Amino acid sequence: MNPTALVAIVFAPMTSLQSYVCGQWTAGSGDPVALHDPSTEAIIGDVRPGGVDFAATVAHARTVGGPALRALTFQQRGQILKGLSKVIHEHRDELIEIAGRNGGNTRGDAKFDLDGASGTLAYYAHLSKELPETPWLTDGAGTQLGRTARFWSEHVMLPRPGVALHINAFNFPAWGMGEKLACSILAGMPVVSKAGTASGMLAWRVSQLLVASGLLPEGSFQFLAGSVAKMVDHMQAMDVVAFTGSARTGARIRSNPACIENSVRVNIEADSINSAVLGPDCDIDDDTFTQFITNLHQDITQKAGQKCTAVRRILVPKDKLDDFKEQLIDRLESTRIGNALDGDSRMGPVASKAQLDDVRGGIETLQAECDTVIGGPEAMDRPGYFVKPTLLQARDNDAAILHKLEVFGPCATILPYDGKAETAIDLINRGGGCLVASAYSDDKKWLRELVTGIAPWHGRVWVGSEKTMGHALGPGAVLPGSIHGGPGRAGGGEELGGLRGLTPYLQRTAVQGDRAIVGRNFGVEE
Ligand code: NAP
């Protein structure tokens, strides 16, 4: 391990996170919640839940940030995003260190998060170039409603004059914040961004850098380090809540009386029991098989399995089971687990003691219906919140818990199946609605049947075949050009997907009248 890094861990000064609200950095109040280095369990900082005037914060966004953003064109807002992307990239090394210290991210994990943030901001900056100079976007072609064009309808989409409350999970402090911010700011809605507490130090530092850049108009970006639960009570008709986290918290936000009474737009990105299925045509020497193993290994170990898109259920044809297990076990056993700040580590700890307890308890619950192939819930012989990479195998197709319980750590379960698409469809859809499913095959007929059967239950279906080898990022990567989100237990939300990502922050309105007046761009030359 790098000795300088060790000194930094042991002698790290205590950092008390602050919120940025109403134009200034504000200390929290109330009992401190400790922030840990999950590799060593050392306390390195804290967050205090109170101290923020929620009514004033949302009012500042609505009355100062919103008008300032709406006064800019889409292209000008895109230029802001471009600048923010650069700021994150320029401070990459410092931010990687923080992600290691407070999030337990290896260098690779931290880059994934940070480059995801800067890349998504840059993507939306680029997208802004193709948007019109008008304050609105037009949705589709206009429609003649009467016998003549004197009665015409045009659909326009304008930024909602409210505040976008972004609540993020602990696992992607930078990317989660960046992807929501990019869509909101480009659409023209001011943001209050709340980080998951356990790994909040990275989001806090990124926020400091974004604010210090001076690129964001006053009131267009505020950051909350402490508790956000009571802010949801302040939501009004033009506001948006974009939440990422557990299904349990998502349900609480969705059922908040202020959100219900005011028809607040609520987008929920919740947890998901994602699956990967190997087609019956794949043999051990095929590139498609190799991708299956490589991507599974990455999903189980990257961020210690704390990715909402990570594969939790692995469907393998019974006649390929031995080859499959041998290869994946080999890869998992050779993964170097260690202190996230050690450059040699390929898998770090989970983010907090609460996560550690949750993951161990979850593996024990799954063991009631599954055999342990490798790993398990037992403590590792070292300090820190480490979990062994764990592979389980369902005893039979009646096992039910594995379709319902998300173990948010380095753990996945194998489901042997008969290779038929219809069996795979039945098993995969028992997940009740998921973010992503991946299928590995070069048999178009089999794929067509499978994809048709599972697509309605998923936000994304990723197909790995011989030709994608070396050309495609794995199914765990959330790319801004495709939608992210899923139906049912995954929350029913949708984010990203190019310009689709702006729609939660825009109000679509049908404007009707004489085409010469309400027609495209209100008669203003395009
Ligand atoms: P969580 O406990 O639900 O917390 C998520 C966020 O909600 C945190 O910022 C949390 O703040 C905040 N929160 C807690 N109680 C709240 C309340 N009553 N009202 C409003 N906000 C509240 O989830 P997590 O443990 O951070 O994240 C892990 C989960 O997120 C996993 O289940 C994972 O699958 C899911 N996830 C989903 C996606 C996706 O895109 N679908 C992406 C990443 C993660 P505090 O941290 O201060 O409690």
The 3-class SS string of 281-327 reads CCCCCCHHHHHHHHHHHHHHHHHHHCCCCCEEEEEEEHHHHHHHHHH
CB 347 within 8 A of CB 304: yes
Distances (CA, A) of 190 to 53, 83, 194, 195: 17, 17, 13, 16
User: Is 16 in contact with 51 (CB distance < 8 Å)?
Assistant: no
Average the pLDDT over 454-471 and give the result: 96
Q: What pLDDT does 523 receive?
A: 54
3-state secondary structure of 62: helix
Give the residue from 275, 265, 306 showing the smallest Cα distance to 493: 265
The minimum-distance atom of ligand 1 relative to the CA of 435 is 41
Give 189's pLDDT tier (boundaries 50, 70, 90).
very high
Q: Is the distance from the beta carbon of residue 269 to the nearest atom of ligand 1 less than 6 Å?
A: yes
Under the banding of pLDDT at 50, 70 and 90, the label for residue 524 is low
pLDDT at 7 over 80: no
Order of strands, sheet of 15-16, starting from the edge strand that comes earlier in the sequence: 15-16, 43-47, 33-36
pLDDT tops 80 at residue 2 = no
Ligand 1 and 494: CB distance under 6 A:
no
| DSSP string for residues in 216-249 | SPTTSEEEE-S--GGGGGG--TT-EEEEES-HHH
Q: Mean pLDDT, to the nearest integer, of 339-357?
A: 95
Q: Which residue minimizes the CA distance to atom 14 of ligand 1? A: 249
The answer to whether 95 touches 202, Cβ cutoff 8 Å, is yes
Q: What integer pLDDT is reported at residue 522 of this predicted model?
A: 66
pLDDT tier at 292, thresholds 50, 70, 90: very high
pLDDT in tens, 328-346: 999 999 999 999 999 899 9
pLDDT of residue 14: 82
pLDDT averaged over the chain?
Answer: 94
Question: Active-site residues: which are they?
Answer: 269, 308
Whole-structure pTM value: 0.94
Q: How confident is the model at residue 318 (pLDDT cuts 50, 70, 90)?
A: very high
**What's the confidence (pLDDT) of residue 13?**
62
* Dihedral sign computed on CA atoms, order 85, 90, 93, 95: negative
Report how far residue 272's alpha carbon sits from residue 435's, in angstroms, rounded to the nearest whole number: 6
More confident residue, 378 or 6: 378
CA distance 227 to 54: 11
Nearest ligand 1 atom to the CA of 195 is 9
Strands 24-27 and 18-21, how do they pair? antiparallel
- Of 170, 207, 231, the residue with max ligand 1 atoms within 8 A of its CB, to mutate for a pocket test, comes to 170
Distance CA 437, CA 458 (A): 7
Average pLDDT estimate for 192-215: 97
Query: How much of the chain is helix, strand and coil, in % rounded to 5?
Result: 40, 20, 35
Q: What is the pLDDT of residues 101-112, one digit of tens each?
A: 999 999 999 999
Q: How far is CA 150 from the centre of its chain?
A: 46
Kindly indicate the confidence band of residue 359, based on its pLDDT and cuts at 50, 70 and 90.
very high
- Token output for 426: 């039945």
pLDDT over 90 at 8, yes or no = no
Lowest mean pLDDT among 134-148, 236-250, 300-314, 435-449: 134-148
Query: From ligand 1's centre to the CA of 145, what distance in Å?
Result: 46
- Tell me what the mean pLDDT of segment 144-165 comes to: 95
> Does residue 382's CB lie within 6 angstroms of at least one atom of ligand 1?
no
pLDDT confidence of residue 381 = 87
Q: Given this model, what pLDDT does residue 6 score?
A: 42
Q: List the alpha helices (DSSP H) in 11-73.
A: 54-60, 66-70
Q: Tell me the mean pLDDT in the region 484-511.
A: 97
* pLDDT (0 to 100) of residue 149: 85
DSSP string, 78-131: HHHHHHHHHHHHHTHHHHHHHHHHHH---HHHHHHHHHHHHHHHHHHHHHGGGS
Nearest to 189 by CA among 471, 504, 479: 504
Residue 5: pLDDT band (50, 70, 90) is very low
Identify whether the C-beta of residue 19 lies closer than 8 Å to the C-beta of residue 34: no
Q: Determine the Cα–Cα distance for residues 152 and 517; give it in Å rounded to an integer.
A: 9
| Domains located in the chain, CATH noted | 3-270+493-511 (3.40.605.10), 274-480 (3.40.309.10)
Does residue 212 surpass a pLDDT of 70? Answer: yes
